[in-house]
Structure 1
Amino acid sequence: MLNVFQDQASGLRRLMGCENEASSAPGHDLETLLNPIDGIGFTEFMKRLNSNRIPFLDLTHTTINKAPLDIVSEDKIVMYISQSANSIKESYGIIKHLAKTTINHEIGLLISTQNHTLAETIYRNLTHATSNFREISLVKLGYIGLGNTYIESLSVHNSNLTSQ
């Protein structure tokens, strides 16, 4: 797993154009890089993120308040959120902060909830709340039921905010 707090200076260097390397495979979206994820374990999912060098933000128990510098320049990010109001609020704050940059961000959401319906509602509400952020594209990766370690797909269709 990439440590998003490890080297904030590297994120700043990339923002300033000193480093032009992309951290994830060019031309591939999150869905292509990570799918199929339905039925895989959380550990396997983390291995896929690590092998594709996609930053992972766990917002299920931690408050971050603003996006760390080294993810601001990333075009692909995965956020792991829970059904708690604080987790949803944190994810919205980070999305809002990322929307202020000039980089287009594809943000995959992995949601820890009681059931599929609640995960869909959380995704739909975040999509609606961030619909004015043209630089942001949300991808619903799936959800993990409480007490489970296996990912289940939310649905076959993913939404890009720019198409709504």
Structure 2
Amino acid sequence: ILVSAKTEDSDKIIGLNMGADDYITKPFNPLELVARVKSNLRRYISLGNFKQENLEVLKYEALVLDNASKEVSVDGEVVKLTPIEYKILEMLLKNQGRVFSSRQIYESVWEEPGYNCDRTVAVHIRRIREKIEINPKDPKYIKVVWGVGYKIDKK
């Protein structure tokens, strides 16, 4: 929301064209500003929920991650993952085809700086593979890109 002392129509048009969702001129009633903020939040949340509905079930071949029930299944059989393993798998499924370094995975999942985290991430990836792969040594789902990181191929 752009708050400005400029009241000309051309100024409002420029502000909205530059990316502002709303424009309010000074002096303004604080209650009006609060109402505009609430209106923008409602719009943002409803659009955000629309996107989330599309991402509730993530699939790659026989691997299915259901965000609503927080369940992972392979070939219809439920697989028990720890919360960390679930977050790693969710991240990779949401970004199929994209390679993530161990550090990127660590910082995204653990939400803290990743220093010397390669081994930690590798262990979690190995455990996920043991649970979802038929042959963990020849993985079908989570691939390693040597020297770079991990990915799930884009379908």
Shorter-chain TM-score category? Answer: under 0.3
TM-score, with normalisation over the residues of structure 2? 0.26
Larger Rg: 2
* Higher RCO (C-alpha under 8 Å, 6+ residues apart): 1
Of Structure 1 and Structure 2, the greater helix share is in 2
